[in-house]
Amino acid sequence: MKSDTADPLDRSPIHLLHRAAQAVEVIFSKGMSTTDLTARQLAVLVTVAQNEGLSQTGLVDRTGIDRSTLADLVRRLHRKGLLQRRRTKEDARAYAVKLTDEGRKVLRTAEPLAKRVEDRILDSLPAKRRGEFMNALVSVVGMLERAGPAAA
């Protein structure tokens, strides 16, 4: 990206976030190629590992992944043998999920790889600005999520 151009896209948060997401996906895919996991699948496995027995609705709340996408992700991870699903006692329509032994094994392999990917991404910033960048991302995501679809 040229710094001396007056291209409006160079100042567009929509465009720049999209380009950053594309670049991050490439880095993630290369860094995680041995795991056969997508970033969203990894997010689900990490969240389930930290919250055994969480319902799929709880997973939606904690990951920000929409309901239909999350349901599909859980089905795929279940088919891969990484997650167990069972109906909850409170609501027979809802599923609670937990990692299988294979899911724990895959996660143990994937977490250090994901850490290296995250480090590589953050290495694009000076060390002094990484905390500020992460705080800004958390703030933007939080504010946009709280505003919800009505704000759109």
pLDDT tens readout for residues 84-98? 998 877 777 788 999
Shortest CA distance to 100 belongs to which of 48, 42, 27? 48
Complete domains list, the chain, with CATH: 30-120 (1.10.10.10)
Q: How many helices (H) and strands (E) does the chain have?
A: 6, 3
- pTM summary value: 0.86
Q: What percentage of the chain exceeds 90 in pLDDT?
A: 78
The distance in angstroms from the start CA to the end CA of the chain is 29
The whole-angstrom separation of Cα 85 and Cα 92 is 12
pLDDT tens readout for residues 51-82? 999 999 999 999 999 999 999 999 999 999 99
The whole-angstrom separation of Cα 94 and Cα 120 is 38
Shortest CA distance to 26 belongs to which of 123, 106, 120, 126? 120
